[in-house]
Amino acid sequence: MQILKVQGMSCGHCVKAITEAVQSRDQAADVQVDLGAGEVRVASRLPLDELIETIREEGYQVSAA
């Protein structure tokens, strides 16, 4: 499981946007968003750099935790 620090998440829409973006590239991905901690945990076959780029494309600042 990859843990990513994501800045700019504030609501359920953010959770949905990130979850759908990752799952559009890997339907089997398990995406867990913790708004309070500013973290996204992803279990996916996608490489880390692709996960980061996918979330960045949604407009968020992302880094590996």
Class of residue 64 by CB neighbours under 10 A (exposed 0-12, middle 13-18, buried 19+): exposed
pLDDT in tens, 40-63: 999 999 999 999 999 999 999 999
pTM check: above 0.85: yes
Task: Give the model confidence (pLDDT) of 12-37 as tens digits.
Answer: 999 999 999 999 999 999 999 999 99
Where along the chain do its domains lie? 2-64
Indicate the class that CATH gives domain 2-64. alpha beta
